[in-house]
Amino acid sequence: MPATVADFINAEARPPIPASAAHRPPTTLSPTTICHPVYQLGRGGLERQLLQVIDRLPADQFRHVLVIRGRDEHSMVAPDSFRDNVTVVSEHRGGRDRLWSRRLARIVRRHDVDLIHVRGFSMLIDAVLAGRSAGAVPVAFSFHGFEGAAKRPGRLRRLLHRAAITRCAARWAVSREACQAVARCLGVSPLAFDVLPNGVDLDRYRPTAGRFTIRRRLGLPVERDILLSVGNLKPVKGHRTLLDAIGGMRSVVRELTIVLVGGDYLDGDLQRRADAQLPDFDIRFVGQQEDVLSWYQAADVFVQPSRFEGMSNALLEAMACGLPVVATDVGGNRELVEHGRGGLLVPPGDPVALAGALQYILRDAHCRASLGVAARSRVRRDYGADASAERYGTWYRRLHARSGRSGPLDRRERLA
């Protein structure tokens, strides 16, 4: 393990092995064991995608070690609800933990891990150090999006992350736009990243004929149009732009209920803003919901005003439920939404354009219906959960086949 920051930055990554060796099967028939270090198992998109992939990979071929680094009082999953091939290790110690990479390395050795899959930057360096300390265990890095504005990090942090990235055996992002974003952030080529998109459970998230029954159960008006937005209340999600857009939609105010689903990270600021500026509108902040599906199935139109998205789970789920969508032309949104077919794209931070698109869809029931059909068709074609899990399974098997050899796959291996 490097003794100093300079050692870590300057140390050379091991060269990639020939492409033929990448497809050599493991010497053992035992399952591939993957360590997934995460901060918590909350209701965020990253965690939900992780659990979805784990649930769909064959239990006889893969084992999983979930290492929870932070507090997890609000976990969406109880540890005893996992299948037998999943082990949950809680490692919260409070505050900054300078020995975290060493403790992670001990966990990797204890559970005979074949591969570490780290999501995002928060534990990237620790995962790389742990993989080296545990005996050249390969590390895969995946990028799912920014929690805030995509600001370029400081020089030292950028150098450290860039050095850690070069030591990863594989590097993924959830969309082509996410590849571009993380590459700009680090000052590297976007070709360093492969695309592994998110997936959605098409059997669960689907249209329903019982919309009015669901509305009554949720306490929503039966005869009004329902405009839905799902996402935690954070600046990056663009809810202030949405409220400004709603203020320009007074011509449809009497026929519209706006529902915002998501945890409040702004201490009630948006609610106060809505009460003060939009008292004539029926705007409902319903908070975090255990069953988001019902809210999709109760709605008529879905809106996503985000400033950035890697690949939005909420957008995938809404489209799978047959909802026409209005989304900002950012990140993975433009890869999911075919403008004019499954929905409409508008510039981020533009309340006038957002209001215009929403009013266009809300006033035309035939347009809503055709856009909704096209939206579900789009996700069925390319973004099913089973296909997503299989893509991860293929990569995991490939990386297991070259266990013990650190260093990134070369381009021939990645494209094979």
Residue 30 CB neighbours (<10 A) = 12
CA distance 183 to 177: 10
pLDDT at 10: 62
Alpha-carbon 127 to chain mean position: 19
CA distance 184 to 174: 15
**Phi first, then psi: what are they for 156, rounded to 5°?**
-65, -45
Which class is domain 211-382?
alpha beta
Residue 25 CB neighbours (<10 A) = 9
CA distance 309 to 198: 12
Grouped pLDDT means (10 residues each) for the chain, 416 residues: 58 47 50 93 82 95 93 60 89 74 95 96 94 94 76 80 94 93 90 94 95 96 95 94 92 83 94 93 93 96 94 96 97 92 95 96 92 96 95 94 56 42
Whether 315 contacts 304, CB under 8 Å: yes
**Phi first, then psi: what are they for 173, rounded to 5°?**
-135, 160
> pTM for the full model?
0.85
How big, in percent rounded to 5, are the helix, strand and coil portions of the chain? Answer: 45, 15, 40
Tally helices (H) and strands (E) across the chain: 17, 13
* Fold matches, 5-198+385-410 and 211-382: yes
**Phi first, then psi: what are they for 5, rounded to 5°?**
-60, -40
Classified as helix, coil or strand, 48 is helix
Whether 270 contacts 376, CB under 8 Å: no
Max Cα–Cα distance, the chain, nearest Å: 68
Residues across the chain: 416
pLDDT at 413: 45
**Phi first, then psi: what are they for 62, rounded to 5°?**
-135, 140
Sign, Cα dihedral of 315, 317, 320, 323: negative
Residue with structure tokens 């990235």?
Answer: 165
pLDDT at 51: 92
Residue 366 CB neighbours (<10 A) = 7
CATH code for the part of the protein at 5-198+385-410: 3.40.50.2000
For the chain, domain boundaries? 5-198+385-410, 211-382
Residue with structure tokens 């534990």?
Answer: 123
Alpha-carbon 210 to chain mean position: 29
Burial grade of 101 (CB within 10 A; 0-12, 13-18, 19 or more): buried
Tell me the one-letter amino acid at 304. Q
- Give, rounded to a whole angstrom, the gap between the first and last alpha carbons of the chain: 32
Beta bridge partners of residue 339, listed in sequence order: 343
pLDDT at 26: 46
CA distance 59 to 296: 31
Closest CA to 318 of 288, 355, 343, 339: 343
